[in-house]
Every structure is written in structure tokens, then in C-alpha cells.
Structure 1
Amino acid sequence: MKKGRYYLLAIALLGTHFSYSQQPAYKNKQLSPDKRAKDLLSRMTLEEKVMQTQCLWAEKSRLLNEKGEFDEAKASTVLKDGVGELARLNEKRGPNSEGLHPKEQALLYNKIQHFFIDKTRLGIPVMVHEESLHGQQTQDATNYPVPIALASTWNENLMTDIYSNVAAEVRARGGQQVLAPVIDIVRDPRWGRTEETMGEDPYLISRLAVAQIKAYQGDGLYLGENKVAATLKHFGIHGQSEGGINVSPSNIDERTAREVFFKPFKACIQEAKAMNVMACYNEVFGVPATINSYLLKDILRKEWGFTGVVVSDYYAIRDIQTLHKVTPSLDEAGALAFNAGIDIETPDPDGYKNLQQSVSSGKISRAALDTAVMRILVNKFRLGLFDNPYVDVNKADTIVGSPSKRAVAYRAAQEAMVLLKNDNHFLPLDKNKVKTIALIGPNADKCLLGGYSGKPRVSISPLQALKERYGKTMNILYAEGVTLTDKNNWFADTIRLATSNNADKIAAAVAVAKQADVVVLFVGENESMSREGWASNHLGDLPTLELLNGQNELIKAITALDKPTCAFVNSGPPLCISELVNAVPAVMQCWYLGQEGGYAMADALFGDINPSGKLPVSFPRTTGHIPAYYNYKPSARRGYNLGFDASPLFAFGHGLSYTTFAYSNLSLSAKTIKANEKVKVSIDVKNSGSIKGEEVVQLYIRDDYSSVPRPVKELKGFKKISLEPGQSQTVTFTIDAEALSFYDKNMNWITEPGTFTIMVGTASDKTDQTSLTVVP
């Protein structure tokens, strides 16, 4: 009997071997992605190779009819040689239109993928990329807080939970690549894309981004069926452009670029193995990043060892002709970009439209084309597109927007709020004592999702959440107070401040507030005020960070009533809220908290949750205080004339709690070390208040004297801990050579002997400190 089993097993194995030996190597899933891609590349025509470098978005009309349905006859005519990518398949009626429901998108994806696999010569599957900055930008997807809010959690484990869920949702409905995360460092928050970033610090962003990419991609050579390929945005320098204007030149020297702006990219490539990188629009070192071979080849590939795909930002190659004025020829712009290192053009063929002619004429070498296509194919193999190309349409609706994902979105909103001020423990309010509460302000009855958002299945405003929670036990009043903009549509080209009579609305709000025991102001911005300005007819940057359109007048009128009043602020960037902070005893910074934001704000108001967020970006006192980032050089921030304060309104790392924390016993395992040795830093942290709370313990280092100027302090570690009342914990960090090193005057990465100030505390401006000496 056993012999018979062995015989059958041998026959089966022989059959498997025979099957693999009869098929092309690229279809053999036992081989590595590189070997499979190399074999497939050897079988491809020039036309097929060129098509892999192209993407379709507005030009999806090549394969869809006017109803948005797949048209095989049309596709067979114009896409017989395949195509590399499709952009945002979730959109029902073209770019930036209403999204498809999950099952609809899954069905459409399967039909399209069936065509490319079964109806083209080599059966090369198409890849679909989606926007998923804080949840997929489409119908029904779970919507999480915007990245600047997620960064306020200082929680790497939360990033894992969030972006594992996002990856599963994207993959379930037919997407395999995401254009995320944004790891740009923002140093001018007038920039409309500030909300898309994770703040101003390279260390914090690196740690959170590495966690996000690992959540997106996993850690296997072949990605799991619920994983997607991440795309780092936007390589170069995007967050400190001239005047805070999107895509303006980034006039930053190479030392600062390497020490600050490039650090998250390097970490995400070398630690998390990000599969794609997107070049920024801006000039970097005087050359647009899209055609900057020093940036894309010398630094990204040769120095850092990046082996993945470099993609253009949307229409960035066209910008070489129209915006940067480098060449009058779109084909020449394409050749410049390709030769600089852009493997695939998004979102539609512009500069790469005639790439085949550029190869045939010798402007682009066949070897360079093969190298780019090889990278694209490797990604497709790693994603399993050749082996498991289709999705289960019946599962899409159960995965997307599920209750478990909603619970993570609520937890994220809870941890993202930052308590900026809380004099005399004004918050939380006692729900048993408040009889009548007035919610006043333009954001009280709005669920603000932020840019790059779709329409989630669930969304709720603070007013709605409060009525749901407490409508039967207290009288809840509401007045808008002022209207901010003529419309709130992130996709609309033209946005203007509202011209309605705010004086009458303020008077009405005062009348409502007079009836209340407590007033809660909901002020700040909406998503249309500070946003991505992607074209001259779709602007998004602001010259000011002040509260606009009568909000300060509203605040003065309400606080003049002398009612107990606090404020919740929604915004994308840090706003200049000095007048508000001076007028009320408690202020909560809420950013855009996503679909569960209303519940989180209501629960924080009455103490059902204890805020634990810390600022990932400094708050300037006025717009004139920009830049306000904390890790400045010693020669900066000397002070202003006439008594104006040069310090920020709220420092990087600031964030209060409904409890208090006491720090003590800062110590080093050694006071003197050699440059290649490590030292441990320890400090005791005690919950000295009366309720459970979470605290982010922060480690900063200053090189006291150095051969080139160094920042006054730099974040080098953080740990988020949870403590019961009266509980203490010893928090320990390890300082190594990397934490003490910098680029010397010859741009060598060194650890220089000398003294270092070691600072640990609750914020960048509230630390205990000790000294460490490094000897040769």
C-alpha cells in the first residue's frame, strides 16, 4: 500500500516537473521574480516593452465605453501590446469623478484583467494604482485621519493597523499599487499639502513611514494577496518650496537636503524596501526632479541601492515643457525624463507617447528601456499578478469599510487629537452637570475628511455625535456663526471666501450661546481652504495661517458673554491661533479626523477618552513667524525687535493630557564613550494625576560644538507608554553612532568627538538634560 502511494506521489511530482518544463519560465511560479521577468523581457517586442512604461487615466477611454464599461473590441484595437498601469480604476466617470462601489470596481477590474491576460500575445497583466493617503480615495472606503493627524499619534503600531487595513481594502477591489505614503518634510505650512505630510521632523517621519510601508507591502519577496506596493512621495524637496507655493523651486542646499529632507526616503528604501518612488515636481539643486539624474540615479540608485520603479508625478513630464520651460518639445521632455531615471509616466502618455521613436532614433538606448521594463515586470511578479490576477468580487463588499476597520479609524481619531491648552483642568466637561451646551462655529456640524478622501459608508459631525450620545440627557444647541467658503469641494477649481452676512450669523450665534451653560467653539478651516494646488486654475496654498472670514470676530463675541468656553480646531496646517488661545482656557487641535472624528471629539469633550496626541509640527505665533520648525541652526531665532517673541506658539512635541506626568532620575549608563560605542539613556516617568493616560517620552540630542553648525536639538527617539494613576515606568533609549553623526565640511558622515547634550522630556521645549562626552 505504501509503495503504491510513493508511486502515485512520484508520478504527480514528475507531472508537475513536466508541466513546468513545458511552459515559459516566466509562468513558473517556482522561480524568482527576477528570473521570471528576465525570461519574459527576452520574449517581448519593442512595442510591448514601450507600452509597459505607460499609464492610462483620462485615456482609459481606450478600453471603456461612454458608460464606463469595459469595451473589449475597443481595447483589442489600441491595446493589443498591453499597458503598464491603469490609474484609479475606482472612478465611475473619469478623473476625480464619483467612485464605484467595491463590488462594481472588482467586477470591472476582473473583466479588464481577463483581457490583458487572455487576449494579448504574452498575457502580461496590467497593474492598477490607487490613491490611499489615509484610506482609499473612493466610494465606501474606510476614511482615517489625515497624515498630519496620524503623525500626532506618534504610534508606530497604530500605523501598522491602519495601513494593513488600507492595503486589504485596495487589494480587495482590484488595486495593487498605492501612491502613498507622503514622506515630505514640511517647513513652510503655508503650503497647501501640509495636511498630507507627517510634519517637520525627519526622525519621526522615518519611523512612522517605515511602519506604514511594511504594513502596505509585508516583508516577503512575493507580496500577500492583501498587500500592495507602496510609492514614496515626493522624492526631492517638496515641503519647503519658494513662498510655500506648490511645485515652486525648492532652494535648499545639498547638506540640508541630505540631513533633513532625504532622511525619510533613505530609511524607507533601506529599511522597509519600498517598491516605488515618485519624483517631486520641484526644482532640486536647480534642476527639476523629473529630469534630475543626480537625484534619481546617483543618490537614489547608486548610493542608496534602490532597485524598484521610479514613477513620474501626474503630468510632471508635461511640466518640463509647459511649466519649467526646459524644452518646447514634449517628446524631448519625455526623453530627458526617461534618461534621468523615470521608468513609468503617470497618469497618461505625454512625454512617453512617442517613446518608441525615441528608442528607434537612439535618443533612448534599448538597454535603458530593457532596464526600466525589467523593474516594472519584477513588481508585477512580486505582486502575484501572473499567478493570482483576479479578485473575489463577493468579498470586496465585506472587506471594505468593515466594522473592524471602523474601530481602527475611531482609535486613530482618538489618538490624533492634541490638547494644546487646558487651564485649571477646564476639560473634560462633567456630563452630569452640563444641562445646556451650545456648539458654535463653522465646523460644528461638519464631518471634515481632508483631501484625497472618498465617500465613506459612515461619517458623523461633532453635533450629530453629541446628539446621539447625549441628546436624551442634555439640551444641545447649535449655530454656525460664520460661513467659511462659497463651497467646500476639494476637487473644485475655484474656491472663494463666503460673502454671506457673517455679522447676522454672529449675532444669531450669540443669542444661542446666551442660553447655554457651556459653549464649545468649532473653528479653523475646511478642506477647500488649504489644499493641493495642482494647477494655476486649481490653487490651494495660502499666504496666511490666520483664522479667516470673521472667525476671530465670532470668538470675541462669544467669549464676551463670559460663559465657560473652550475650542476645537480643525485644519490641515498648524494655524496662527494666538487670539483664540488667549481668549479661552482650553483648546484642542483636531486636524481632519476622518469618518469617526465626530465621535472622537464628542468623547474627548466629556472625558470618555483622554487625549494623548503630540504635535508633529510647530505652531507659529503669526504667519510672519514662519519658519517655526524646532531643529533650527544656532544662528537662527536670535529674536525680534519691539518685544515680539521669536518662539513658537506651541512647540514641536507639545501635547497635554487630562492627567499629568512627572519626569525624574535622568541618567546615562556611561558619561563617556568612544565613537563606535553605545550608551543607554534612562528616565523615570510617573502618572502623577488621577486618571489613566498615555505619554510620548521624547529624546533629543544637541552636538554642543561641531566643525560645521548643527541644529540646536534633534529628535533621536520616542516611546509611547500607558500609565495608570500613580504608576511609574523607567523608559530607556539607546544612543548609537548614527544618532550622534553628521556630514562634516567634506560631506563625509562622521561621529565627531566632543560633548553632547542629551535631553528627555514631554516636548521639545520641556526636557530634563544631561551631558555625554564622546572621545576618539
Structure 2
Amino acid sequence: MQPTLSTAPDGTRFRDLNGNGVMDPYENPRLTPEQRTADLLSRLSLEEKAGLMFQTVIELGDDGALLETPGAISKSPTSTVIRDKRMNHFNVHHIPTARAGARWNNNLQRLAEQTPHGIPVTISTDPRHAFVENTGVAFSAGPFSQWPEPLGLAALDDLEAIRSFADIARQEYCAVGIRAALHPQIDLPTEPRWARQAQTFGYDADRVSQIVAAYLDGFQGSSLGPHSVACTTKHFPGAGPQRDGEDSHFPYGREQDYPGGMFDYHLAPFREAIRRGTAGMMPYYGMPVGVERNGRPLDEVGFAYNRQIVTDMLREELGYDGVVVTDWELVNDNHVGDQVLPARAWGVEHLDAPGRMRMLLDAGIDQFGGEECVDLLLDLVRSGAVREERLDSSVRRLLLVKFRLGLFDDPYVDEDLAEQIVGNAEFRAAGTRAQAESVTVLSDRDRRLPLFAETDTRIYAEGIGDTALAAYGRRVEHPEEADVAVVRIGAPFEPRDDLFLEKWFHQGSLEFPPGLAVRLGRIAEHAPLVIVVNLDRPAVLTPLLPIASALVAEYGSSDDAVLAALAGRIPPRGLLPVQIPRSMEAVRASATDVPDGTADPLFPRGFGLRSSPVASEPVGTPQ
């Protein structure tokens, strides 16, 4: 879809966004983004400035229509947040088809043209190219090409493969109008129990720094432009050292500590993201407890509330002048159905909503994530509690990204082209290959790999669908009838479902229930047993090692990809991006912030058996 263009007296084609029949400087595509930003900023009302400083979830209606009622997550009708609240940054969740996503973008942009200065909408997304489905973290691929989780991309240990993924994801995002990514997540998950490891790249700070450079290059390019997706890198200054691995989405996980004194180690990938021009930065919810840096104690408040973190460190020490957006819902409690999740105002729970907003502004943030309480900010300015000039510094940064992305000149997309690009055969094949190659062979005790040399192999399988299995042999119902048994299982966790979002976070112990090893051992008595474990975080695999003929890890792989790897059709080459602990005792005794911190690991970081049709060659040595 092409925007409606006007022609200036000098022949320049432009979008007359404010409808005054004149090409104002902010509408002039020949001026620099900085010049256009300065002009538009001078024209904006207080209400427009305030609207720019909020980003929240809105949802698609049927077939890409605008949803004019509150949704499952979204709080207000679409026209309310765009026309009435003057908001124009939105986080999208479910996208059923590429055409629906593209149509929805175009409908949003048409609605945005009805605002006083026609500021286009920026659509953002959490990761949506892999397997995890968690409303608070990431979404499964749906119509997009499907890849391993970022932890699996790290297992490939291949910077060019990561750059290729990012470029493909960029093309698919742009095709449906998504121009902002709420990723990469470059936290170093040094606490093995932490629930958000699947979206990280492991905890080797040097390697993660190299990965973030490749990732940002694929999404943003050498600089932001009309074909870029603007990345918000998270979670500054590193969310991996969560006390006891509990996630700071929840009140019991609010504390983050550094008993090993490794604060600056966790900063390293963020330094690289700044060097590479990340468009945005997002602090996490956690609050530093008992932490000193440069001889000065850090205030024990959530990172986004912490002026020492956002202004003193990120802005002044590291020289970052991009957008800082908070993580979601730091000002107000979140009510969804009959569940509630308290505002993540850790360390400042005693403050009311206006007090929290003032503290966030004083810390130096530019945008309130997951909020739409525009009136609250307006009241603070009108009462004199916050100066309008404070808003101007943030609005400048937010507008500059929109201008650099070319949204003011053409925010529309082609629905037909979106269907051709998103999830096309080439992209899907690349994703499937990455899924298979990221598979990490941890043991092959009986030299069983590759499997399925015989076309009529009798296979006992659990966790694998019939269609995928049929390409390698025939399913049998009992291990006693099988030539080989293949069992897929997930890493263990402790189910919780009291607070909103909690059921989607895999937290707690890394130990399997004792009955699992007993049951799998009985299968192994009848057929060689290949165990495939999905590692969305490390697991104590010790009880499985003696009973498995082969033990394999994956980080988000389809049945087809797993079987292709086991068969050697796509040889697995994954290397562990994290350590596999030998016991929970070792985990509990380790320092939260120290990489490779568990004593006597079962498998060290970097271990893997690289498979070929003839033999398996170890990389690293199990300990």
C-alpha cells in the first residue's frame, strides 16, 4: 500500500501529515532525521508529547481489523489509545497470519493519520521466531519461520548463522509492519535456575558480545534506516544474577545480587550493544541488594527506578543517548481476569503511582512500558511536579527513531508481499536446519548415532508425532517390540499458578522427579534408549546418563528437526552454551553472578559430540 503524497512547489513529494497544504520541515524527506525531529518537537502539544512516552499492548481484531474493545491483555479500544491518548508505540502479541498482521498495521497507520500531526505508529514485538509461548516473554512462530530459541542459536557457535537469522527475522517483521524488536536479550544467565534463559545466548561475556554485534547487524544494519528493525536490548545492566534463580516479574524474585563481585562482567555485552548503536535499552525489574560499584553502594530499588543505573552509568559513564524504555507495568498493578500481578515497583512499593512515575522520570527513562496512564503524566506536568522540558528530552529520542526508520514517509506495507515473504519455504528450511544443527549430543555411549540406518526400523517413541516418525521407520506400541526407543522430555521445573504470568515461567528445582529415571530405565531394559531433553534452562541430567544409550539436548526443535539430527541427515553440531550441573547441591552452593560457577559439572560449557555419518568426535570432555 502506498501513502497519499502531495507535491511541494519544488517538486518534492511528501506526506501532508497535518493537512495544512504545506510541506513543513518535519514532512520534508530531504531533511535529516535530526532536523525533522527538532521541527516536529517544537510543534507538539503537551498531550502529544505525553502520548509518545507510553508503550502498551494492543491486539488485532478479526482478520486484521482494529479491535475496538479491551482484549485479552490490552486494556482499551484501539481508537482510544491512538486518537484520545495520542499514543503511537504498541506491542503486538498474537498474529494469526501474515496478511492479517499487514492489514492491521495499515489500519493502525490510517487511524494515526487522524491525529493532529499524523505521527505514525511504531509496532514492536517480543521474540516470535521460536517455540516458547509465554505472554510475558516470547511467542511461538505461528506464520513466521521457526528457529531454535536464542540459547540454541548460541549452541551453533556460528556468528554468520546468527546474522542470517536476524536478517531473515528483519525481513519478516518489516513485511507485516513490525519495526521495533523488544530484543535481543543479552543477560548472562549465571544462575542456573533462572526462568528466562531460553531467550539468552548463554553467559560467556566475550562470545555474547560478538553475538550481539552480529544480531544487531542483521536487524538494524550499520545504522537505522527505512529497511531496519530498531532493537531494544535488554535487560540493563544484566538480569542473570537473580537470587535463587527466582524471576523478578514476581515479588519473591525482586532481589539481584553479586556475591562473586562480577557486576562489570555482566555489563560487557551491553557495552558492545551501545557501540553497535542499539536503538533502545530496557532495564530489568530486579533491585541490586548489597552491591557496591566503584566504592559506592547501589540504591536498593528496581533498576529502572535507579538513577545511578540509568543516568549515572548508562547515560554518563557509557555514553548512551538512545531510548530507555521500562519493562512492563512498573507504575500500576496488572489485573487480568481474576488474577493480579503487582506493579514491579521493587524497593519503592510504598510510593503511590504518581510518586513512582516521578521517580522513573528522575532516574532517566524515556518511555513507560506496559502502561497507558497518560493522564497521570499530564497531571504531573500541569501541577508543576514535572517540567515539560523533561518530556522534551525523551520525546526527541523517541521521534528520532521513527524518522530514522522512515515511518513518517511510508509506514504502510503490501499485504500480498507480506504473504510471500513471511514464512516462505526458503526461510522455513533455514530455520529447520538451524534447529537440527543446534542439537547437542551429550553422550553416545553405545555408538548408536546416527540412528535409523534401516528403513524398516521399529521405533518406540514418546513425545514425537506420527507424521515425523513415519519418515524413519514404523512406530511400535511397546519397548519390547522396538529396535530403538526415542523419548523427548522437557527440563524439570516447579509448576506455579497464583500470580498472573506465573504458570508460563519455569522456575525452581532443576531435578527430575525420581520416578522418571525409574520409568525410563525400564524402557532401556528392552531397547536402546535415546533421550532428548529440551533445555529451556539447565537440568540435572545425572540420573539419566547411566540409562541412556545416547543423551541429546535441544533448545527448541521440531520433531522433524530432532529426527533429522539423530539420523544424521542434518548432522548436529551444537555445543553447550551453559554448564550442566551435576546436582542441586552444587547449584545451591554456587555464586549467583559467577560464570561456570557450579562445582564438578556433569558437562562443561562448550561440550558437545559433533556427529558425522561415520563417527562422533567430542569437543570438550565430560567431567
TM-score (norm 2): 0.84
**Identity value in percent:** 27
| Change beyond 3 A, Cα 1:17–1:607 | closer
User: Is the aligned partner of 1:120 residue 2:115?
Assistant: yes
Q: Which amino acid aligns with 1:339?
A: D
Q: Which amino acid aligns with 1:79?
A: R
User: Is the aligned partner of 1:252 residue 2:258?
Assistant: yes
| Change beyond 3 A, Cα 1:52–1:633 | closer
Q: Is the 8 A contact 2:236 2:270 kept in 1?
A: yes
Matches within 5 A, 1:280-291: 280-284=284-288, 285=298, 286-291=300-305
Structure 2 match to 1:233: 234
Which residue of the other structure, out of 341, 345, 349, is the alignment partner of 2:372?
349
Q: Is the 8 A contact 1:129 1:176 kept in 2?
A: yes
Which residue of the other structure, out of 260, 264, 270, is the alignment partner of 2:269?
264
Q: Which amino acid aligns with 2:600?
A: S
Structure 2 match to 1:701: none
Matches within 5 A, 1:362-761: 362-432=384-454, 435-439=457-461, 441=462, 443-445=463-465, 463-467=466-470, 469-470=471-472, 474-478=473-477, 512-525=478-491, 535=500, 538=503, 540-548=505-513, 550-561=515-526, 563-593=527-557, 597-626=558-587, 646-658=599-611
* Partners of 1:333 and 1:63 in 2: CA distance: 32
Give the Å deviation of 1:43: 0.7
Q: Is the 8 A contact 1:37 1:374 kept in 2?
A: yes
* Partners of 2:240 and 2:550 in 1: CA distance: 30
1:190-223 Cα offsets, whole Å, 9 max, x none, are: 2221212111221121111221111111123424
* Partners of 1:75 and 1:103 in 2: CA distance: 21
* Partners of 1:532 and 1:611 in 2: CA distance: 36
Q: Is the 8 A contact 1:159 1:208 kept in 2?
A: yes
User: Is the aligned partner of 1:167 residue 2:170?
Assistant: yes
Q: Which amino acid aligns with 2:584?
A: T
Structure 2 match to 1:5: none
Give the Å deviation of 1:541: 4.2
* Partners of 2:498 and 2:166 in 1: CA distance: 26
Q: Is the 8 A contact 1:275 1:309 kept in 2?
A: yes
User: Is the aligned partner of 1:303 residue 2:325?
Assistant: no
* Partners of 1:765 and 1:279 in 2: CA distance: 36
Structure 2 match to 1:207: 210
Q: Is the 8 A contact 1:167 1:228 kept in 2?
A: yes
| Change beyond 3 A, Cα 1:289–1:77 | closer
Give the Å deviation of 1:539: 6.4
* Partners of 1:338 and 1:566 in 2: CA distance: 54
| Change beyond 3 A, Cα 1:533–1:690 | farther
Q: Which amino acid aligns with 1:126?
A: V
| Change beyond 3 A, Cα 1:114–1:559 | same
State the SS of the aligned residue for 1:176: strand
* Partners of 1:394 and 1:383 in 2: CA distance: 22
Q: Which amino acid aligns with 2:50?
A: V
Q: Is the 8 A contact 2:510 2:539 kept in 1?
A: yes
Q: Is the 8 A contact 2:603 2:621 kept in 1?
A: no
1:437-462 Cα offsets, whole Å, 9 max, x none, are: 211x3x334xxxxxxxxxxxxxxxxx
* Partners of 1:586 and 1:302 in 2: CA distance: 52
Give the Å deviation of 1:555: 1.4
Matches within 5 A, 1:143-222: 143-222=146-225
State the SS of the aligned residue for 2:423: coil
* Partners of 2:166 and 2:421 in 1: CA distance: 14
State the SS of the aligned residue for 2:331: helix
Q: Is the 8 A contact 1:321 1:333 kept in 2?
A: no
State the SS of the aligned residue for 2:611: coil
* Partners of 2:109 and 2:121 in 1: CA distance: 6
Q: Is the 8 A contact 2:198 2:537 kept in 1?
A: yes
Larger Rg: 1
Q: Is the 8 A contact 1:246 1:532 kept in 2?
A: no
What is the count of residue pairs matched by the alignment? Answer: 573
* Partners of 1:220 and 1:540 in 2: CA distance: 35
Structure 2 match to 1:3: none
Larger RCO (alpha carbons 8 Å, 6+ apart): 2
Give the Å deviation of 1:378: 0.3
* Partners of 1:302 and 1:631 in 2: CA distance: 25
State the SS of the aligned residue for 1:140: coil
Structure 1 match to 2:336: none
Q: Is the 8 A contact 1:524 1:547 kept in 2?
A: no
Give the Å deviation of 1:764: 8.4
* Partners of 2:257 and 2:77 in 1: CA distance: 50
State the SS of the aligned residue for 1:79: helix
User: Is the aligned partner of 1:34 residue 2:34?
Assistant: yes
1:89-135 Cα offsets, whole Å, 9 max, x none, are: x54xxxxxxx3322122112212211212x12111112111122535
State the SS of the aligned residue for 2:147: coil
| Change beyond 3 A, Cα 1:534–1:393 | farther
* Partners of 1:67 and 1:153 in 2: CA distance: 42
Q: Which amino acid aligns with 1:115?
A: L
Q: Is the 8 A contact 1:417 1:591 kept in 2?
A: yes
State the SS of the aligned residue for 1:566: strand
Give the Å deviation of 1:405: 0.9
Structure 1 match to 2:68: 65
* Partners of 2:44 and 2:231 in 1: CA distance: 27
1:253-291 Cα offsets, whole Å, 9 max, x none, are: 695111x21111111111x21101111000034221111
1:128-167 Cα offsets, whole Å, 9 max, x none, are: 1112253583641222111111111111111111111112
Q: Is the 8 A contact 2:257 2:592 kept in 1?
A: no
Q: Which amino acid aligns with 1:556?
A: G
Q: Is the 8 A contact 2:146 2:432 kept in 1?
A: no
| Change beyond 3 A, Cα 1:532–1:51 | farther
Aligned-residue RMSD, C-alpha: 3.4
Q: Is the 8 A contact 1:154 1:613 kept in 2?
A: yes
Q: Is the 8 A contact 2:437 2:570 kept in 1?
A: no
* Partners of 1:694 and 1:167 in 2: CA distance: 35
| Change beyond 3 A, Cα 1:288–1:242 | same
State the SS of the aligned residue for 2:161: helix
* Partners of 1:34 and 1:276 in 2: CA distance: 17
Q: Is the 8 A contact 2:602 2:622 kept in 1?
A: no
Q: Which amino acid aligns with 1:32?
A: T
| Change beyond 3 A, Cα 1:110–1:17 | closer
* Partners of 2:419 and 2:323 in 1: CA distance: 31
- In the alignment, structure 1 segments of 5+ residues that lack a partner are 1-11, 92-98, 446-462, 479-511, 638-645, 660-688, 696-761, 767-776
Q: Is the 8 A contact 2:603 2:622 kept in 1?
A: no
* Partners of 2:58 and 2:107 in 1: CA distance: 19
* Partners of 2:54 and 2:542 in 1: CA distance: 49
Q: Which amino acid aligns with 2:29?
A: K
* Partners of 2:224 and 2:198 in 1: CA distance: 33
Q: Is the 8 A contact 1:176 1:228 kept in 2?
A: yes
Q: Is the 8 A contact 1:129 1:179 kept in 2?
A: yes
Q: Is the 8 A contact 1:618 1:630 kept in 2?
A: no
